[in-house]
Amino acid sequence: MAWPGLVKEIVLLGYGSSSKRHRRGLKLQLLFHFSGCIVSSSGAQFTCGQFVYDARRFICCENTDLCKRDGTRDCCGRFCYNPTIGMCCKGKIRDRCDSKDASCCGDRCYSKKKQMCCNGKVVARCAGSESTCCGTGCYNPRWKQCKNGKIIFPQKSTYYY
């Protein structure tokens, strides 16, 4: 073992437990806490918070939660989630919108076809694909203008032909 002194200390710390299984768990947990990785007969094992895991089968989410490496789970910040029913928006798990074109606006879910994200606020599209953000509102640039985050009507031309 790479750190015999460390292992000896860890074993002594573990003897205070009444359960043999708990002592072994404490020994491994402390060893992993200090070293991060150990090679056992089954291959390399790592720690994720208090869990010992096989990196070939699991993903560690910010040293807190474990996700299976089976294509059905993903990390969102510190937590594992199912992307078919949820979305990760700014590190928060949200219910997936009813839309196939779902996206995040800040920490909220919205449909890009029907809505748009204007400065972190979800707003309804007002002019289909021509919808444009102005501040936190929507406008059609064919008929209106945006000035300093405010939607205005353009002034009529004073030119004569």
Q: Where are the domains of the chain?
A: 4-64, 85-152
Nearest to 105 by CA among 121, 91, 84: 121
Round the average pLDDT of the chain to a whole number and report it: 76
Does residue 42 register a pLDDT over 80? no
> Which secondary structure element, helix H or strand E, spans residue 98, and what is its range?
none
pLDDT tens sequence across 95-110: 888 778 899 999 899 9
Task: HSE, CB side, 13 Å, CA atoms: give it for residue 30.
Answer: 16
CA of 110: how far to CAs of 41, 64, 76, 100, 118, in Å? 48, 28, 18, 10, 12
Alpha-carbon gap, residue 161 to 147, rounded angstroms: 28
Query: Residue 76: pLDDT above 70?
Result: yes
Residue 55 has pLDDT above 70, yes or no: yes
The set of residues, in sequence order, having a beta carbon less than 8 Å from that of 65 and lying 6+ positions away, is 48, 49, 75, 78, 79, 80
pLDDT of residue 53: 92
Mean pLDDT, range 80-93, rounded to an integer: 92
Is the predicted pLDDT of residue 20 greater than 50, yes or no?
no
Residue 60: CB atoms within 10 A of its CB come to 19
Report residue 8's pLDDT band, with 50, 70 and 90 as the boundaries.
very low
Average pLDDT of span 23-44: 43
Alpha-carbon distance of 17 to 20, in angstroms, equals: 7
Task: Identify the pLDDT of residue 158.
Answer: 53
